[in-house]
Amino acid sequence: MIARRCSKAGCSAPAVATLTYAYTDSTAVVGPLALRSEPGTYDLCRVHCGRLSTPRGWELIRLPIDPDAPSHSSDDLAALADAVRQVGLGFEDRPAPEPALSRRVGHLGVVADHAHDGR
């Protein structure tokens, strides 16, 4: 798994936080790094997260960021894939149930249409 980098132009530091915002509420939220990158969000390094400011009239909500939180590694992803694979391998196809047979004689019959065959 490739470590995500800060979204700020020219910064290649590892991301530690994610910035999201809502224009309608004039609110920006900075919190722990999201599990995956999403459209409309920005990953920030520790420096840019600390320097972040918002436009006048906006509210900035800072959620606690644990600097010692373990990052998601490729080992985590491999373990998850193995767990999903094991569940998938345990799936057994059940045979379709046999249709119920009826001994009832049908009430419909075939009527020949002689008007179309030239008789």
Q: Which domain holds residue 40?
A: 1-90
Number of structural domains in the chain: 1
Give dist(CA 119, CA 104) in Å, integer.
35
Reported as a single tens digit per residue, the pLDDT across 41-59 is 999 999 999 999 999 999 9
Domain presence at residue 63: yes
Q: Is 62 in a helix, a strand, or coil?
A: strand
Domain presence at residue 105: no
Domain presence at residue 68: yes
Sequence-ordered list of residues with C-beta below 8 angstroms from that of 21, at least 6 positions apart, any chain: 27, 28, 29, 40
Give dist(CA 61, CA 20) in Å, integer.
10
Domain presence at residue 40: yes
CB atoms closer than 10 angstroms to residue 42: 19
**The predicted structure's pLDDT at residue 37:** 84
- Per residue, what are the HEC states of 3-28? CCECCCCCCCCECCEEEEEECCCCEE
Checking if the pLDDT of 35 tops 80, the result is yes
Q: What is the pTM of this model?
A: 0.55
36 confidence band (pLDDT: 50, 70, 90) = confident
CB 4, CB 39: distance < 8 Å:
no
